[in-house]
Each structure stands twice: as structure tokens, then as C-alpha cells.
Structure 1
């Protein structure tokens, strides 16, 4: 092919770069001469070439075609015809209203010829319309053809939203997202970043993509899919495809969605783009907007998890709330560090009450920023009122911002799911499993499980995964989301429905706690239980260890159920819940909750005039007061229980109160009084044949004898107590007797330390089986004492350190005592901690 024809061909290639029909004709010619491989190459040029790229591509293709045409007259003739058609197509069209004369156009043509010639040499860029003609008569009008308009944008699109200067934290999340890019290989990356309303999905994604501009030289596109915008419908894929194609230079957009998607894939096939699809509502809305170009990325943000995109190769990133420190830093940036430093506790409280939700922190900060003289403590107090009041406080520019954002998530729920969401906002629990949700919503467990999963899918609940003890899947409300659900329930549900919803959940907790009590403390399980809605579901645990683990995990919800019952004046439920929680308090020793529960239970039983319930509350609650070190209060409760039992002629209850008086005096180091009360209790228990009660009192008499320095007397009491408790199948108290037996052997005669240690180690194993952390610490302390008496300081230190580790979680006073023992053992103090 002669050089002049190569120039013409380069010009024609540029003119036809956006015309699929012309490129198809050229491909057919090339296929007949050069084979299907070259046709494929030509198609790739058609997609990735054009005026958006360097004319280097056209120069190389023109030279390749020239080489083939040189030996093929037919191809040469075909190319000349194609050049004529392509050039005319590139320069014909509707008038733009601009014209020039022949001399000007000749100048333009000369300039264009020079440009093409230079392009063939690889030294210039083709630009502007071109005329190939021998002569020109009259005016020539220049028009922009669709092909030329489609040749590409004059500016690389950078459409990402700006990120606030106050953006803070999220380093861990950004690092995790960057690792996704590292695993992309030769495939495009598709990732879904989901999370609840207001958690900062858009800000995080914008910051992430904004930090990686260099990875996407062909641009970054952004579209709001309006999945949760109340004043507009969600964006259709066609709307967004048109927006994106125009940003890449397309002037004519097909009407059919399928053709739009095909054109979008063609345009992006050779590009490295980042595409942010914000606020998506479904996988179907996203799927037509995907690109298959290697090195590209599509990042989707949504309040829904969009698990349907898994079939498209998506990875999923769940964005949680901010850490307390990051929330405080965000607040500081918005209201000023000096203001936060003046009121650090109030600032931390505000951040805490916003529950890690960046939207809530930002709204609270905005309100404080326009009130520079108002103390931060005022905002902390307003937020601290909780529930709907907290949502009302988070108002800016007349709009309850957090509430409005959650309203948009709620608006998309189908009716049955919306009802479930409202009902779940009523009970005094924030973590749900299937049985609890079934009770709240009065639906079968299978339907409740589906409902929980669907609410988690749209991020109105957080999926916590299965509970290690019960195996049931757990779901959690964010504090503000729960307040929103409760507000909707208060508005849309009647008072009876609201009351019954709460009552069903409280009754479920009472039934499960009672089942745990029966497994862990069968001798204590003697009082009646009353239900408005008797649960028909089995308890979520098997065996004593599972029951104790459930009590431990559910302690916050059990106490919330009790407090809710107090608020509703469900007095019978109040004292029965306190009574059912006895094994939790006895084994795990949360003294503050122990005392709170029985103070509430005593007040409720007294209002009811239920004397047996009053007696149970006094003796069980007195035990908590005694163990918490409130000896005088405990003595008063036990004395009141004794006097009431004598008035009612209840010998068993009187013996229980006397036993409690003995234990309280023992802990107060009044050993003579303790022995006297225990003796009275033992006499009454022998009278009525209460064998387990006799064994417990002998155990305590053995403890008193040990404390009084009479280990041989202690051995007699303790050996019989151990035998009787094993016969009564009371493994917990039998282990206590064995531990005291070990200490008695260490002190008796010259001291049998080996036998003492064997008893204590066995007792430790038994307490680990029953799950009592406090008594594990107590036995480890006894092992330390035994080793120290045997002058083995290294072994004593090891036991004491293990004891301290157990005590730290359950008792500050016991932990302080162990720290004193360790200081004395190491010669670092006077042992005042003892």
C-alpha cells in the first residue's frame, strides 16, 4: 500500500472508531484475508481504541493492514472503498451552524493531512474534522458525528464524593479493603460493603477508593442508586448506565437495557475503572452495572447484605460501628479538642450514647457546635434519657436525622417483617435467638428464624453467629435501631399487644431460669411459678453445665426481665425471677446483681403479703448481703426471717434463718456466736429429718472448728458432711466439704500435706465441672496456703497467682486479699492485704 493511502486509512480509522457498522464491515474484509485471529484483534481495537487513546493504536493497525493489502489487489480495492465510506461518515451530519470557505477548509485539510502523516510516524495526535477531496466548491460545514462524540471524554471522570475532613478511625477496615484488591489477580473486583443506616459506608468507601486513584487511570465513576431515599424511587439500571456511558464519551445511548449493558461492557473492556455504586437496594439493581474488565473494581454500598451477588463473584465486607476511641476522636474534631478536654467524662459519655454510629456522633456534634456555651454534660444528659427521647435529641435542622435514616430502611420491609421489627423493639432484650423472637412475635420458631435472618439481611439486626453453648443463632439490635423499632411499636400497636409482647418474653426467661435452677439447685427448686403465657418451648440447654453457661450468658437479659417486671408491677414474677436466679448468684457471685434482685423480690413479696416468698427472699438475699461483706444488713435480714418463721411455726424456715445467722457471724470472725447459731440450726434440722440441711450445717461447723484452730474436730464434721452431701447428689456442696477436709488434714497433727493437696486438687476439679469460678479461686488459695505452710514458696506463689486470676473476674475484695498474700510472700509489704 502506498504511503498516501496509509495516511487516508489512519484518518478513516479515527473517524469510524465509534461506528460499530463500519468496524464490522472492516472486520469482515480482514477476516477473509487475514483470518479470524486478526478479526478478533480488530474488534479489540474497535472497543479499546478511538480518540480517547493515543493514535499510536491507529498507526500500528494501519501499517498491519498496509502490509496485507500490498499483496492483495482485492483487499486494496476493498480498503479504498471502506476508507471513502468511513471518511464521509465521519464528516457528514447535521449542521452545527458553523461554516468556512474553501481556502479555510483547504487549510484545515492540509493541517489534517499533516497530522495524519505525523501520526503515522508516531509523532502527533489526530484532532478535529478532516476533508479528503481534490477540490472544494462553495462552503463546507463541519459537524460532530456520533462516532466522533463517542470517541471519548475530554476529561477522565473522577466522580467520587468528597470525604469530610473530620473522617477518622477505620484503619483496620481500610486495611481489610486494600487486601481485597491484592487478591484480585486478572479478574475485576466486586465487593459489597454493607452495614446499618448511619454507620459510615459511603464515607469509608469514598476514602478507600480516593486513596487508590493511581490504580484506576481511566477514572472513578460514582452513582447513588437511591435505595433508601424517601423522596425518590430507587434508580433503575438504565438510568445509571446512561450516566456512566455519557461520562465515558458516548453520545447515543440505546433504549433497551440489554443493549445499554452490552455497550457498557464494550466501553469498559479495556479500561481500568473504579465504580462506586452507593446505596443499592438489591442485587438485581446492581448486576447490569458490573464490568468484566481485569484491573477494574466495582464497590457497592448497601444497608442490605446483597448475598445474591455471590453468584457474580462478590466478596462481602460488613461494616460495624466505630470504636469508643474513634467516636470520641470524631466528636473532638467536630466540636473542638479544647472543649472535649474541658469535659472529658461528658464527652466520652456522649460518644458512648451515640453507640458507635458516626451519623449519631455527627448530629450530636452539630447540635453542640451551634451551642458553644452549653456544657457537653447537657447533651450527655439529654441522650441518657434513652429510647425515643434519644432519637428526638439527635435532631438537626428540624429533622431527626438518625430516625429518618432508619425510617427509610423500615419503609422497604414487607408487612409481616415490619410487624416483627416493631415487636422486637418492645422486649427488654437487645440480643435475640429464634425462641426469644418467636415468643415476642407470637409465631412458630421456624418463622421467627426466617424473620431474624431477613432483618439481618437488611442490616436492621446484626448477625452474631451461633451461641457456643446452645448452638442457636443470635442477632443483636443496635441501641438506636432498637429505640426506633420501639417508637414505631408505640405508634402502631395497641397497649394490650405491647404489654403481651413484653410479657411473653419475660415468661420465657422465667421458665428457662427455672429449668436451670432445677438442674443446678434441685433442693432449692420448691417455690411455685406463675405464667400469663406458659412457654411450650424446651429450654435451650442440656445438663447442669449448659444451664450454668446459659445463666452466665443471659445474665443481662434476665436482670432486664426482672427490672421490667418491677416497672410493670408484676410482683409475683419479680420474686419468682429472683428465686429462679439463685444458682446464678451462688455459683458466679455477681454480688451487686444478687442484692438488687432480692431487694426487688422482697419488696414485691411484701406487697403481695406472700409470707413463704418473703421468707425465701430474706434468706437468699441475706446470703448475698453476707457474701458482699454487708454483715449488719445480712444479720437484720436473717433475724427478720427467723422471727417470721417462728411466728408461722415453720421449723424448716427457722433453721434456714439460723444457719444464715451462723454463716454471717463466721464471716465477721465472731466464731463463738457462729457455732451457737449453727448448733441451733443443726438441732432443728435433725428434728425434721432434713438430711441435706444437716450436712450443710456440719460443713459450716467444720469450717468454724478450722478457723478456731481445732482441725481434728473439723475432720469429724467435714467427713460426715462430705458423705451425706454425696448421698444427696449435691456435687457443689460436696466439693466444698472436700476442700475444707483438705485444709483440715493440712492442720491436723503434724500435717499431712500430700493428702491435703490431693483433696484440694480433687475439689478444684469438681468445682471446674460445676462451673463455680469463685470456689475455684477459693480452693486455689487454699492450695497456696497449704504450700506456704509446707515452706514451698515457689509452689505457693503459683497457686496464689492462679487464684488471683479467678478472683479478678468475680470479687474485687478477694482479689485484693490475694494481691496482699503475694506481696507478703515476696517480701514487698506487710501483708495488710490479708
Structure 2
């Protein structure tokens, strides 16, 4: 039973007047329902009051239908009344019509055309013009001529459509950040499927993110009903919704609901027709529509090539080809966001006399793309991001602004909780809010990042905070980085002594711990950008002790991940801060740790200067341990500079000092260095003696990382001495351990040594495979080592193609 069926029955009963037997019968039947259901009672009250308007009868029919859904017994009774009541009403109507005289008064009933005249001569001809066929609505927005790519997204939408439930209306939600091209994509997709929707394609902007109130469901339903030719529409939402469902029950059409803010804004507009398709676009994910059977697609940015193509189609391929490098830079500054690229293109198109390079210059000044990408008559990038920001809750705006103050684009719940003084649960909820709004992108479990242009907007909003709030936010961030980095350091390099207590203003309430080395190293790798940002921010703020202590806590990140640029920059800042603070212990630590970074990139002369300064400090302070550390580093720098005699002297003096003070681990490391030096000289027996003892002592000291280094070098020495099987076994064991500990540099170095061993054994195929694996790892961490392995590959000569018997 439908609302339409019931309305027709009620109208027929009512046609006999409120005193007719059929209507009285229905009134008696409906009385219990009125007592049980306020909605039915209110609708009935309006009809009884004398209203015979179709809207009121329709409202009564809708209320009764909803009551039936809650009361099965009432539904059965209604079915009985419909069987009897309307038939009785029709019989009465026919009887009254038979007795009717041609008198037009209050009891007259007229159907069709009527002529009222005293005398008629001749025939009467009544001509009726058939009603004009309603225009099929085709309201999709036009697709710009420069629409680019999106083939993968179009295919996804096609698959979602193909997998629909054929007996229910189909709903697809397309979400993505502001300016990513959601509406254009939908228009393009639906334009290609016009034949699938013979009754029309409608479009409504729900204004979910524009200033002012979003479009109400009543406004939207009114628009949709009028699009289908309904002249007069009801004024109440229930009546509008009921009429919308009834009018479209048998139609095949598509509706685009653009810029939706919430699932509730959409839900009341959904039709009932199984032939219908509703495509919703939103900056929110609108996951609440899952209960309505919606399918979801997240629209991402264009890839770089497609973004350049979009620019080319907009301003002319020749112009872009003439300044290819500048065009690529424009696209990068626009972060491949279609709206930003289109605004940049419009600016170029309106200034044909200017170069593409001039736009690059404009986009890198002042407020950057947010301020520069303004075109008359178009929604600017600043405007669309302001709209998204404007609909956030107060709590979410606070988090958004404070994240904009941080020197990182990647966040996790623990960091945000510490920075915003929230619990992790509260932080996670607000991060999810920003993610649902597509202001953040989720990149892993509880990890998020800003889109480049959104980050600029968040920074702009963050700058509106008072100075004290800005300073506290950054300080909380720096202290959180120092706290967690220290915890990672304790797991990864427990022998690395902390020099005094760490300096905090806002130490996190809950201690941070890591289950194992892998977890600690993974955290350092994920947060390397944040950690370097914290170092720079602390240096800029003048928090001197915090600067060098944070650099010191990051030691295992530099040691294991070999991020040389960051390694050297951080230690230069740390050294300056320790000297300004007058902290000699901190200065010595920065000199020795930083010197290792300089030596590792081949800056041997600079490293020798740093280690010499560290040696002088240690001797002035009478610190034997630091003196031996400086000598060990100085020896490694001399070795890199091929000054092997001076290297031998430094290593031997360091070993003697360390043995004298009982520093067993340090002595083992000096022996490891002497073993490397013996390998360089080709004295494999001496190398094995040093490395074997170093391995034993480092295992006893529970220094697994350095013990594995010793094992790798020992394996290489054994193989070079001629004990190849034993050597390869040790090298493979070390390779496995480095894989577990996450040391990419030493994995690459061990693979390189395995390649050398294979080359020594004339197994060029195996050597090439080992070198290639080594080169791939080195390429992302050490240009100097990459070049060396590439030379080894060239020394092997061109690769010999495999023998093919069919060709011979």
C-alpha cells in the first residue's frame, strides 16, 4: 500500500461530504489511531476542520501509512475498510448524481468542461490543447574543456555503479579536499551516462561550506520537485518528502547533491526509486550514509604529469613547453591541486606578456599560493579553505591552528595530545574530525599529514594566536620530541650516556616506552622531519640546552638511518647552542658526534678540525674518556683521508686510554677500528685478531649493533684470507641481523662486501647481484658510497646475456 493509493481512497470517501456514510465509517475506524498517534491526530484534525486541500489529505495519508508501519493490526483493519468504504462512497456518489438536476449550487458536482448558457443553438465544439510535455531536466554543470585525466577515478565510479543493488536507490559519496575537482568529475561521469537516466539529471548545491546557513532539505526538495514540473509544492518537510518519493517512485533519474555538509542534510532528500542515482560530493567523508547503503570514493590530487597537462591545456602547450622547468615548478607550488592549477593558469592566460617564471616568483613571495592565486570572478584558494575552516567546531579549530604552528606536516595522536594538552582519545577524535573534513590525510594507524596548501592555510590561522599561545605550542612540541627521542635512544643505544638531566618545561604526563629496537627505530624514521623541525625551532627560540640535548637524543637516528644532511645541520646547530650556553660537556658531545657525520660524507678535513677541537677540550678538562673518543674519531678521519700512519697512532692511543680506565666497550670499538685499518692494508691475519676480540667483547657488553658490525667485518676478513665458507657464513648472519635492527647503511655495506667476495671468486653474476642490491640501498642514504659501488659495477664490465641454445 502506498501513500498515493490511500490518498485516492480518502479523496473518494470525502467526495460525499463529511456527513456521508463512507466518511463517517472511516472516521469511526480512524479514531483509535488518532488516540495512539499524535501525527495522525494532527493531520486528522486539519481535515475534520473542513480542509479538503489535497496537501492536507496527502499529509493524512502519509501519517496513516507511517502508523501502519508500527501497527500491523491497524494495517489489516485498514485493508478491510478500503475494500468496503470507497465502494460504498462510489455507490452513494452515483445515486446522488442520478438525482441531480442542472442547478449549480453548493451540492453541484462538475467534471470536465462545462458550458453555462440560457439557450444554445447549433452544436458545441470544445477544443482542448494537450498539456505540453514537461522538459526533461538536464542540470549538470558544464565540464571545463581542460578536464584532464581522472581515468582511474572514472573507472572506479563505473565499477561502483555496476555493483549496485538493482531494487534500491543507489547512493555514491565522493569526498576529497576543497578544490580537488569532485564536482567536475561527477559532471563528466554522468554526462557520459545520460541515456541511463531518461527522466533527467538534476543538480543542487547544498552550500555546506559557503558562508551562511546550508541549504535546508525543504529548499532542496522544493527545487527538485519544481524541476520535475510540480508547480505548487507543500510547505512542510514531511509533505515535501512524501510528495518527492511519490512523484519519483517510477522514474529513472540521477541527482547530484553538491557540497554536502552532513549525512543528515542528504538523508531527507533521498528518493525511493530503484532507478535513481544520488551522487553526493563533500569535503567531509559522510560515513553516516553507510546506513543508507551508500558507496564511497575518496578523490585524491592529480599526479604531477596530469597537473602539468592541465596547465598546458589551459594556457597553451607551446607556452608551457617553452618554459618547461618553470611550469613544473608552478605545479609543485600548487601541490597538484586542480583548483590551484586552474587559478594559476587563469592568471597566466590573463597576462600573455608575462613569463611562466614570473608566476613562480609571485607564488614564492608573501603568502605564497594562498595570497597570489586570485582571479576576478573565481572562488580563490584562500576562500575555499576559509569555508572549510569556518564549519569546524571550536575544539577542532584550536587543534587546526596549533598544528599550523608546528614545523612538521606529519602528526600522530600522541604528539597532538601533548601539543594541545589533550588526552590521546580526545586528540584522536579531533584529528578524525579534520580528516573527515579532508583537511588532514590519514597515512597510517594514528598518523596524519597536511596537504601542502592546507598546511600554509593552517599556519596562517595559527599566526592569529597570541604570541604566548604560539610560544607554548612550539615549546610543548619540542619537549615532546625530546622526551620520546630520549626513550628511543635508551632502547637503541643504551651505552650512549646522557649528559645530565634533560631540560623540559612541558614534559608529557605519561612516560613513553618502546617494545623493542624495531619500534624505536621506526618511530625515529617516521618522525625525522618533526625532530629536525624541533631542533630548528628550539634554536630559533634560543632554548640552548634543549637544542643540543635534542640533537644528542637523536644520535641513534643519525647512526642507523644515515641522514647525513640532517646529521650535519643538527650538530652545527647543537654545537652553536652548547657554546652559547657555556656547556663544555655538550660542546664536546656535539663535536665528536658531528665529526662522525662530516667524516661519513667525505669531509675529512672538516672532521679532523672538529675532532681536534674535541681532543683539546677533553685534555683541558682532564677527561680521559672523552679524549679517547676524540682520538678514535680523529683516527677514522685520518683513515678516510688515506693518512694511515696517523690513523694507526690515534687508534692505538685511544685503545690504551680506554683499557687504562676499564672502558671495555670503548676498547672493543678501538679494536674494531684497528681491524678495519688492517683490512685496508691487506693484513688479514691481524684484522681477524682485532675483529674477533672486538666481537667477543661487544657481545659481552650486550652491544648488539656494534657486535654485528664486528661480525660483518670479521666475515669479510676471513673470506679475504681464503676461509671463504666461514667468511660468507658470518657475512650472511650479519646481513640478517642488520635487517632485523633496521640499519640500512650496514646492510648495504655487508652486501657490498659479499659482492667483493663473489668477485674475488670470479663469480661475476653473484657479484653483480650483490652490488646492485647494495647500490639501491645506498642510493637513498649515501651518495659517496653509491658512487663507489657504481665503480665496482663498472669494473665488472657489461653484463653477459644468458646463453640461448636456440640462437646457436
Q: Cα–Cα, structure 1 residues 828 and 218, in superposed 2: closer, same or farther, change >3 Å?
A: closer
Q: Work out whether 1:363 is the aligned partner of 2:343.
A: yes
Superposed CA offset, 1:473-524 (max 9, x none): 1222222222222222322x21001110111011111111111111111122
How far apart are the structure 2 equivalents of 1:435 and 1:402?
Answer: 31
Unaligned runs of 5+ in 1: 1-16, 33-46, 48-71, 113-126, 129-147, 467-472, 830-834
**Partner residue of 2:637?**
664
**Partner residue of 1:434?**
413
SS of residue paired to 2:297: strand
SS of residue paired to 1:539: coil
How far apart are the structure 2 equivalents of 1:677 and 1:813?
Answer: 24
Give the one of 801, 814, 817 matched to 2:785. 814
Q: Work out whether 1:184 is the aligned partner of 2:164.
A: yes
**Partner residue of 1:686?**
659
**Partner residue of 1:638?**
611
**Partner residue of 1:42?**
none
Instruction: Tell me by how many angstroms 1:27 deviates.
Output: 14
How far apart are the structure 1 equivalents of 2:198 and 2:589?
Answer: 76
Contact 1:410 1:418 survives alignment (8 Å): yes
How far apart are the structure 2 equivalents of 1:569 and 1:325?
Answer: 43
TM-score, normalising length: structure 2: 0.83
Q: Work out whether 1:502 is the aligned partner of 2:474.
A: yes
How far apart are the structure 2 equivalents of 1:197 and 1:641?
Answer: 54
Give the one of 733, 752, 756 matched to 1:781. 752
Correspondence list, 1:338-353, <5 A: 338-353=318-333
Q: Cα–Cα, structure 1 residues 102 and 325, in superposed 2: closer, same or farther, change >3 Å?
A: farther
Give the one of 686, 692, 699 matched to 1:726. 699
Give the one of 402, 406, 416 matched to 1:423. 402
Q: Cα–Cα, structure 1 residues 441 and 712, in superposed 2: closer, same or farther, change >3 Å?
A: same
Superposed CA offset, 1:162-215 (max 9, x none): 111122122211111111110114132101111222222211111111221111
How far apart are the structure 1 equivalents of 2:460 and 2:537?
Answer: 17
Give the one of 277, 299, 319 matched to 2:299. 319
How far apart are the structure 2 equivalents of 1:222 and 1:619?
Answer: 67
How far apart are the structure 1 equivalents of 2:414 and 2:220?
Answer: 43
**Partner residue of 2:387?**
408
Q: Cα–Cα, structure 1 residues 811 and 511, in superposed 2: closer, same or farther, change >3 Å?
A: same
Contact 1:517 1:525 survives alignment (8 Å): no
Give the one of 179, 185, 189 matched to 1:204. 185
Superposed CA offset, 1:345-374 (max 9, x none): 221111111112222222222222222222
Instruction: Tell me by how many angstroms 1:579 deviates.
Output: 1.3
Q: Work out whether 1:272 is the aligned partner of 2:243.
A: no
Give the one of 580, 594, 599 matched to 1:607. 580
Superposed CA offset, 1:320-339 (max 9, x none): 22222222222222222222
**Partner residue of 2:352?**
372
How far apart are the structure 2 equivalents of 1:104 and 1:193?
Answer: 67
Instruction: Tell me by how many angstroms 1:401 deviates.
Output: 1.6
Instruction: Tell me by how many angstroms 1:539 deviates.
Output: 2.7
TM-score, normalising length: structure 1: 0.81
How far apart are the structure 1 equivalents of 2:673 and 2:375?
Answer: 64
Q: Cα–Cα, structure 1 residues 788 and 488, in superposed 2: closer, same or farther, change >3 Å?
A: closer
Instruction: Tell me by how many angstroms 1:801 deviates.
Output: 2.8
Q: Cα–Cα, structure 1 residues 497 and 77, in superposed 2: closer, same or farther, change >3 Å?
A: closer
Superposed CA offset, 1:109-138 (max 9, x none): 5xx7xxxxxxxxxxxxxx62xxxxxxxxxx
How far apart are the structure 1 equivalents of 2:719 and 2:108?
Answer: 107
Instruction: Tell me by how many angstroms 1:710 deviates.
Output: 1.1
How far apart are the structure 1 equivalents of 2:335 and 2:470?
Answer: 26
How far apart are the structure 1 equivalents of 2:194 and 2:649?
Answer: 83
Contact 1:184 1:295 survives alignment (8 Å): no
Correspondence list, 1:145-224, <5 A: 154-186=134-166, 187-224=168-205
Instruction: Tell me by how many angstroms 1:790 deviates.
Output: 2.5
Q: Cα–Cα, structure 1 residues 647 and 103, in superposed 2: closer, same or farther, change >3 Å?
A: farther
**Partner residue of 2:81?**
none
Contact 1:780 1:803 survives alignment (8 Å): yes
**Partner residue of 1:580?**
553
Contact 2:487 2:514 survives alignment (8 Å): no
SS of residue paired to 1:255: coil
Shifted more, 776-785 versus 798-807: the winner is 798-807
**Partner residue of 1:456?**
435
Contact 1:429 1:557 survives alignment (8 Å): yes
Q: Cα–Cα, structure 1 residues 799 and 548, in superposed 2: closer, same or farther, change >3 Å?
A: same
Contact 1:781 1:803 survives alignment (8 Å): yes
Q: Cα–Cα, structure 1 residues 27 and 267, in superposed 2: closer, same or farther, change >3 Å?
A: farther
How far apart are the structure 1 equivalents of 2:347 and 2:634?
Answer: 57
Q: RMSD value over aligned CA atoms? A: 3.2
SS of residue paired to 1:301: strand
**What count of residue pairs does the alignment treat as equivalent?**
718
Superposed CA offset, 1:663-720 (max 9, x none): 1122233322211111111111122221111100001101111111111111211111
Contact 2:221 2:240 survives alignment (8 Å): yes
Instruction: Tell me by how many angstroms 1:572 deviates.
Output: 2.1
Instruction: Tell me by how many angstroms 1:446 deviates.
Output: 1.6
Contact 2:481 2:531 survives alignment (8 Å): yes
Instruction: Tell me by how many angstroms 1:24 deviates.
Output: 6.4
Superposed CA offset, 1:218-258 (max 9, x none): 1001111111221x421111112111112212222122211
Q: Cα–Cα, structure 1 residues 239 and 598, in superposed 2: closer, same or farther, change >3 Å?
A: same
SS of residue paired to 1:396: coil
Contact 2:491 2:514 survives alignment (8 Å): no
SS of residue paired to 1:233: coil
How far apart are the structure 2 equivalents of 1:189 and 1:378?
Answer: 48
Contact 2:250 2:275 survives alignment (8 Å): no
Give the one of 274, 286, 289 matched to 1:306. 286
Superposed CA offset, 1:573-621 (max 9, x none): 2222221111111111121111111112112222222211111111111
Shifted more, 190-199 versus 696-705: the winner is 190-199
How far apart are the structure 2 equivalents of 1:571 and 1:524?
Answer: 21
Correspondence list, 1:91-170, <5 A: 91=113, 106-109=124-127, 128=130, 154-170=134-150
SS of residue paired to 1:289: coil
Superposed CA offset, 1:75-113 (max 9, x none): 9999999999999545479x9xxx9x999994445xx7x
Give the one of 206, 219, 231 matched to 1:225. 206
Q: Work out whether 1:794 is the aligned partner of 2:765.
A: yes
Q: Cα–Cα, structure 1 residues 543 and 154, in superposed 2: closer, same or farther, change >3 Å?
A: same
**Partner residue of 2:624?**
651
